[in-house]
Amino acid sequence: MARTIANLAGEEKIAPTHLAEALQHRLKLGMM
């Protein structure tokens, strides 16, 4: 999910902010 967020942000590399956003989405969806 972090890769997709980075792609949507137009970034080549995954940043810590992308990981944090992915984690938030996973927690909201009950995936963790």
Q: What is the pLDDT of residues 1-32, one digit of tens each?
A: 999 999 999 999 999 999 999 999 999 998 76
Separation of alpha carbons 22 and 29, rounded Å: 11
pLDDT of the residue at 14: 98
Q: What are the φ and ψ backbone dihedral angles of 31, each rounded to 5 degrees? A: -90, 0
Asked if residues 5 and 29 have their Cβ atoms less than 8 Å apart, the reply is no
Full domain range(s) for residue 6: 1-32
pLDDT of the residue at 20: 97
| Number of domains making up the chain | 1
Helix, strand, coil content of the chain in percent (nearest 5): 60, 0, 40
Asked if residues 21 and 9 have their Cβ atoms less than 8 Å apart, the reply is no
